């Protein structure tokens, strides 16, 4: 049904307009008793066998929403109701800003990809904090991803991040420092070890009460750079890393769509990112051992992808583009297939797969649809 709706209606709309339509439709459905009842019948909570424990938190499923979908903290509860185990709100900046001028996101359905040059549009940290006050903590885990305000000069970057963290840390289950978006000038330079050390040190002074702190990395770093960041993350005793953000590399796009050239510099997400995302995950896991939570994002489309990332060392996974193309029933379908996979592997829970770092041989067969 969703595939028909997507092909007939949604793909004909501007991507941002379709995003707003989906958001409003889901919110409207949950605003009525019949809508909530229908959603609960169709979705239901994730199977308890999928529970993941990390940082003292319980994630109902390892499947989460990457930053970028709920940029302003306005529909994380609706997304959790679809079966996601966590939602990472953001990217949030200290100052309100419009982002880059539209059009700033396009679909490339032939490649199951998106290209975006959003530029962190949002109402600012204070407004997002107001939306997180009083949230129902039992509904699922909510993290917040923070980035640099465009108006902040490079010398002000650490203070700018720290202001967002100061306002949002008390309301978030964990914080992610985004230093890897390609759509804010100069942002990726913060991934250099010296700048990253100064940034993390400054931000940590605002983590009150203490919260798990992660960094989100670019897929376009080379192996040497990844090793340097992993060494620094261990030295600073970071709680985790998110691998990866979108890529500026166009090599994975098979489409010759002329619109792609107009999005030069924008980040590619979806299937073309899958191979590199998994490579970065494996490299980081090898570098940090089992001492740190790794969150894998990029090109995850089905339960087999989730399973393979967890075998490769991910504790949690995050999705964006796969959900856009899969529709509202997609997360619950992934959860069902993943629970089936756990039982087929003879594991007590998916936590056992995380602890072992790789599933038994029986776990390598794909799940049935």
Which residues, 6 or more positions from 104, have their beta carbon under 8 angstroms from its beta carbon?
A: 16, 116, 117, 118, 119, 266
CA distance 148 to 150: 6
CA distance 323 to 237: 32
CB 228 within 8 A of CB 85: no
Beta bridge partners of 105: 116
Q: How many CB atoms lie within 10 A of CB 366?
A: 11
**Alpha helices (H) in the chain, listed in sequence order:** 2-8, 15-30, 33-42, 76-81, 125-132, 157-168, 193-204, 223-235, 259-262, 274-288, 303-311, 321-326, 330-344, 350-356
Query: Which residues are known to be catalytic?
Result: 181
Handedness of CA 343, 349, 354, 355 (dihedral sign): negative
Q: First and final CA of the chain: distance in angstroms? A: 16
φ, ψ for residue 357 (rounded to 5)? Answer: 80, -10
Beta bridge partners of 318: 64, 297
Question: What angle, rounded to 10 degrees, do the helices at 125-132 and 157-168 form?
Answer: 20
CA distance 153 to 360: 50
Strand pairing report for 316-319 and 63-65: parallel
CB 146 within 8 A of CB 166: no
């Amino acid at each position: 049904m969703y595939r028909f709706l997507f092909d007939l209606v949604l793909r004909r709309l501007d991507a941002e307009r379709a995003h707003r339509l989906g958001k409003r439709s889901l919110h409207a459905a949950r605003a009525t008793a019949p809508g909530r009842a229908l959603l609960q019948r169709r979705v239901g909570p994730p199977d308890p066998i999928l529970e993941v424990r990390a940082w003292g938190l319980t994630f109902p499923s390892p499947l989460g929403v990457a930053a970028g979908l709920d940029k302003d903290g306005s529909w994380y509860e609706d997304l959790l109701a679809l079966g996601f185990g966590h939602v990472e709100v953001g990217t949030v900046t200290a100052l309100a800003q419009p982002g880059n001028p539209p059009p700033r996101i396009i679909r490339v359905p032939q490649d199951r990809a998106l290209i975006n040059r959003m530029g962190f549009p949002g109402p600012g940290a204070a407004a997002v904090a107001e939306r997180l006050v009083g949230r129902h903590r039992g509904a699922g885990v909510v993290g917040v991803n923070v980035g640099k305000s465009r108006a902040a000069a490079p010398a002000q970057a650490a203070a700018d991040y720290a202001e967002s963290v100061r306002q949002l840390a008390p309301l978030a289950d964990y914080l992610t420092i985004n230093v890897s978006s390609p759509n804010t000038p100069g942002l990726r330079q913060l991934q250099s070890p010296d700048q990253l050390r100064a940034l993390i040190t400054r931000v940590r002074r605002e983590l009150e009460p203490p919260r798990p702190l992660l960094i989100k990395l670019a897929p376009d770093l080379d192996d040497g750079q990844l090793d340097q960041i992993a060494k620094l993350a261990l030295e600073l005793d970071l709680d985790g890393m998110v691998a990866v953000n979108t890529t500026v590399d166009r090599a994975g796009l098979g489409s010759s769509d002329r619109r792609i050239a107009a999005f030069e510099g924008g980040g590619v997400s979806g299937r073309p990112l899958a191979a590199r995302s998994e490579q970065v995950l494996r490299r980081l896991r090898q570098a940090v051992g089992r001492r740190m939570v790794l969150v894998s994002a990029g090109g995850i489309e089905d339960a087999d992808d989730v399973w393979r990332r967890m075998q490769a060392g991910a504790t949690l996974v995050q999705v964006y583009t796969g959900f856009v193309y899969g529709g509202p029933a997609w997360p619950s379908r992934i959860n069902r297939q993943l629970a089936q996979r756990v039982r087929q592997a003879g594991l007590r829970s998916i936590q056992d797969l995380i602890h072992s770092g790789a599933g038994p041989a029986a776990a390598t067969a794909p799940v049935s649809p």
